[in-house]
Amino acid sequence: MSAIRATVDCYPWVVVGAESPKDECGLFGVWAPGEDVARLTYFGLFAQQHRGQESAGIAVSDGTNILVYKDLGLVSQVFNEATLTTLHGDLAIGHTRYSTTGSSTWDNAQPVFKTDGTRSIALGHNGNLVNTHELAELAGRRGSATSDTDVVTAMLAEHMADNGLEDAALQLLPTLAGAFSFVFMDERSVYAARDPLGIRPLSIGRLPNGFCFASETCALDIVGATLVRDVEPGELVRIDDRGLHSARFAETPRAALCIFEFVYLARPDSRLRGTSVHEARREMGRLLAQEHPTQADMVIAVPQTAHPAAQGYAEVSGLPYGDGLIKNNYVGRTFIQPSQSLRDRGVKLKLNPLPDSIRAKRLVVVDDSIVRGTTTRQIVQALREAGATEVHLRITSPPIKWPCFYGIDMSTRQELVASDLTVDEIRAFVGADSLGYLSLDGLVEAAGSPKDDFCRACFDGEYAVPIPEQAGKFVLEDQLQLPTP
């Protein structure tokens, strides 16, 4: 553990993030003859918009040709009736992106498409590979590829010409290190694969006349699919006119689902390993109330993720639950930043207090995490200005001390407020009257599986897959600046 930690400390350039952990990517794939698969994919992506807001794309096949449409923006901005009606076929894959390797550019939008003129492949990826540099060297893509997804797609395209896509995948997937859930397709089949530890989620759904894949089960619900099961770690699944076929490309030494999916990433109406995310978050709040009780007048949540946990805290503490902060749901990726004068006047783009609700009250404020602490500090200040007499922060996860290399664009260790400060020092920095974090044991209990069945690296530094020295969001783009030997 100490060796890995020392390595992580060596490169502060690894992932530059904002205050909150950024979501990763959302995947959807479908094979359903006779259905409007482009529209099904659109709604599957729409349900997973929270997992990536930088770009969106859909690839469809009519059995002979693959057509890809993608662009920067939200799903509803990229697609409309006119574009969807041009996407005809019986099978499709889709992707919503938040970049974790490579910049947010059109070239890096997914699905990635490759063809040799005879056979084609389109691929979407959720996760992050830690041996991207090594793979790019092996594939001869150093200096041209700018994402791990591009490298993987190019390698599959090269090998499928001789062996077919399934055999190419079975050869390539064991060489990949890190976290990956893939959906990909050729002209006739849709495939899904998950890394040997199952760090990122991926599920299988059954439609009346076909099957589909999705990163979260809420996407299955929205298209009327019935959950069959999760794609198993180390498994490659194919769906086509031959039905559903499974092949194993790697043994599973242990399960390591990202526990942060329960804390923040997944929608509350999704299920992970059969556990309701909403109920897990509510249990986090119950346990948090037991671990960190306090005297107060009302429990409120920082919208939206923390609502179930705040309800659980109120249930155990006996304190009334109420609304104290209102979130503007339309502030996501905005290209118009407030001027300095507006910032100086405290313009609140995302969250605004309800003074009539919180004035003269001692508040328990429940949130999912503290990353850099700057936004939390602004929230505390805004609540005090609105009349709160005391602000007691309760966080439904342990302190985040280590960056993520498996598909969450989280700040560098130097920017993580908990990496160097004690809990009381963080409390003083954000200006709260008290601060309590849920213990790691409490979080694991709420998530409903044994501790070793989760990746917990951002909390305890125990990385499920070793992190090489050459890793990070811009590892391939950095190579573009180097002379080719």
Question: Which residues are CB-contacts of 318 (< 8 A; sequence separation ≥ 6)?
Answer: none
- Residue 218 known to be catalytic: no
Q: Are 101 and 476 in contact (CB under 8 A)?
A: yes
Report whether 405 contacts 14 (CB < 8 A).
yes
Measured distance CA(6)–CA(4) in Å, rounded: 5
Token pair 């890793």 is found at 471
Preceding omega of 111 cis (within 30 degrees of 0)? yes
DSSP 269: T
* Active-site choice (25, 218, 258, 404): 25
Residue at 53: amino acid letter? Q
Residue 296: CB partners within 8 Å, gap ≥ 6? 317, 319, 361, 362, 363, 364, 390, 392
Residue type, 434: S
Could you tell me the strand order of the sheet in which 112-115 lies? 112-115, 120-129, 178-185, 190-194, 235-240, 243-248
Q: Give the distance between the most distant pair of CA atoms in the chain.
A: 73
Count of Cβ atoms closer than 10 Å to residue 108 Cβ: 22
Rounded distance between C-alpha atoms, residue 61 and residue 75, angstroms? 20
Instruction: State the helix-helix crossing angle for 277-291 and 307-317, rounded to 10 degrees.
Output: 40
* Cis peptide bond upstream of 304, omega within 30: yes
Helix (H, G, I), strand (E, B) or coil at 107: helix
C-alpha angle 266/286/264, rounded to 5°?
A: 15
The Cα 273–Cα 344 span in angstroms is 46
Please return the burial class of 457, using the count of CB atoms within 10 Å of its CB with bins 0-12, 13-18 and 19+: buried
Distances (CA, A) of 288 to 120, 293, 321: 51, 8, 15
Cα–Cα–Cα angle for 247, 222, 93, rounded to 5 degrees? 45
Which residue type sits at 308? P
In our burial notation (b when 16+ CB lie closer than 10 A, e otherwise), range 270-284 reads: bbbbebbbbebbbbb
DSSP string, 123-146: EEEEEEES-HHHHHHHHT-TTT--
Active-site amino acid positions: 25
